[in-house]
């Protein structure tokens, strides 16, 4: 019979990070997370999320064998911003055994209840600014960069525990030659019209990355403030994420809209680094992982359109079309084979309709669930 083990030291933390590698060792679509990145993320003092949050990690073990894991998370900024007492669960992985998942989820739920939370929401690793959602449709390939992956049986485990749907998230796919490039043909005219209002579209300047990141943070927190569950990133959180992204950033796919030096929108697509990570055993960069990473970057032929937002007051002026047009133009010029636009809220027609009009095919769906405690 399984027992619950709270993670209290580095050795147990390593087991927590490594468990999915064993669980999915025979799954050709599983992509391991980099060990060093996961270790830093889950270590208080390393990641700035912990400055306003509380977290407890749990393992489920049968004898010496690990059979599941989960994190109970209290996001202080979420509760303060929304004026709620809602807890989260994340980093959930389990063998296909209801008794094991029951033990794990009970451990997370009880810990949150002890800390006076009235609801449990997830899976969310740490917040909606990070990897979140349970894959419920589209199990026919590996996930793209910074998107979740799980076995189909997870939904049954969670629903049998009492979780119900909170919201579904969407991922759209474009394949080479199977999308509308109308925004590219209109790009010059649209940008000329914007320039009459002193609005210009340009690439990110990596030589001034620190200054660019500070301005992008402000736009990000304003442009996404109406999204369900969104909580503004702290300065330190945004900088931490920006520095991570900088390592994979390709300036052909990162564009800024500004008016007289003031940023009013931006679009970011990142190379699908998972094409390389899927080949790095157990997420270890040494001894061979780093070489695979360095040599593989030039061979990546897919992107994830991660962010595209315009601040209120500048929407519906054509900025969004120009940002999409720039990314599509670069996508064609580089002969990339696919792009994923993800994720979007299922009921966000203002975002979903343009994606569909360009030719995006809804091919994956993810669910965030909730349960009263």
In Å, how far from its chain's centre is CA 265?
A: 20
Q: Which residues pair with 89 in a beta bridge?
A: 72
Which among 186, 132, 158 is positioned nearest to 68, based on CA atoms? 158
CATH superfamily membership of 3-170: Gcn5-related N-acetyltransferase (GNAT) (3.40.630.30)
What span, in angstroms and rounded, lies between the C-alpha atoms of 289 and 272?
16
Q: What is the pLDDT of residue 296?
A: 82
Percentage of the chain modeled with pLDDT above 70: 99
Q: How confident is the model at residue 297 (pLDDT cuts 50, 70, 90)?
A: confident
Q: How many CA atoms lie within 13 A of 192 on its CB side?
A: 5
CATH of domain 175-366: 3.40.630.30
How far CA 69 is from CA of 38, 60, 138, 152, 315, in Å, comes to 14, 6, 24, 17, 43
For residue 105, the tally of other CB atoms under 10 A from its CB is 26
Where in the chain are all domains bearing CATH 3.40.630.30? 3-170, 175-366
Contact 224, 128 (CB under 8 A): no
Which among 158, 152, 157 is positioned nearest to 98, based on CA atoms? 157
Question: Which tops the pLDDT comparison, 293 or 302?
Answer: 302
The single-letter DSSP state of residue 186 is T
pLDDT mean across residues, the chain: 93
Q: For 201-236, what is each residue's pLDDT tens digit?
A: 999 999 999 888 888 888 888 777 666 667 888 999
How far CA 284 is from CA of 68, 117, 264, 271, in Å, comes to 21, 36, 39, 20
Q: What is the pLDDT of residue 323?
A: 93
Q: For 78-96, what is each residue's pLDDT tens digit?
A: 999 899 999 999 999 999 9
């Amino acid at each position: 019979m399984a027992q619950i083990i709270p993670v209290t030291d580095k050795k147990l933390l390593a087991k927590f990070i490594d468990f999915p590698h064993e669980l999915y060792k025979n799954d050709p679509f599983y992509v391991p997370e980099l060990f060093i990145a996961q270790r830093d993320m889950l270590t208080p003092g390393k990641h700035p999320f912990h400055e306003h949050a509380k977290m407890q990690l749990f393992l489920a073990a049968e004898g010496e064998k690990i059979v599941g894991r989960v994190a109970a998370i209290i996001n202080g900024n979420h509760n303060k911003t929304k004026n709620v007492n809602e807890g989260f669960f994340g980093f959930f992985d389990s063998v296909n055994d209801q008794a094991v998942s029951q033990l794990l989820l009970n451990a997370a739920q009880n810990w949150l209840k002890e800390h006076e939370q009235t609801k449990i929401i997830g899976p969310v690793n740490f917040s909606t600014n990070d990897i979140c959602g349970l894959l419920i449709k589209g199990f026919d390939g590996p996930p793209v960069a910074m998107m979740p992956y799980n076995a189909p049986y997870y939904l049954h485990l969670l629903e049998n525990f009492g979780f119900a749907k909170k919201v579904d998230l969407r991922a759209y796919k474009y394949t080479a030659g199977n999308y509308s490039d109308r925004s590219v043909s209109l790009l010059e005219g649209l940008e000329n019209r914007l320039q009459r209002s002193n609005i210009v579209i340009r690439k990110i300047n990596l030589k001034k990355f620190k200054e660019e990141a500070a301005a992008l943070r402000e736009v990000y927190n304003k442009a996404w403030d109406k999204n369900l569950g969104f909580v503004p990133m702290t300065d330190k959180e945004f900088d931490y994420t920006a520095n991570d992204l900088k390592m994979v950033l390709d300036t052909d796919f990162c564009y800024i809209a500004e008016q007289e030096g003031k940023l009013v929108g931006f679009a970011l697509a990142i190379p699908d680094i998972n094409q390389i990570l899927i080949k790095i055993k157990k997420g270890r960069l040494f001894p061979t992982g780093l070489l695979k990473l360095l040599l593989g970057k030039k061979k990546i032929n897919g992107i994830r359109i991660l962010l595209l937002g315009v601040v209120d007051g500048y929407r519906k002026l054509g900025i969004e079309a120009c940002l999409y047009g720039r990314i599509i133009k670069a996508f064609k010029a580089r002969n990339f084979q696919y792009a994923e636009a993800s994720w979007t809220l299922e009921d966000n027609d203002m975002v979903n309709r343009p994606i569909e009009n360009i030719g995006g095919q809804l091919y994956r769906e993810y669910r965030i669930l909730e349960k009263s405690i």
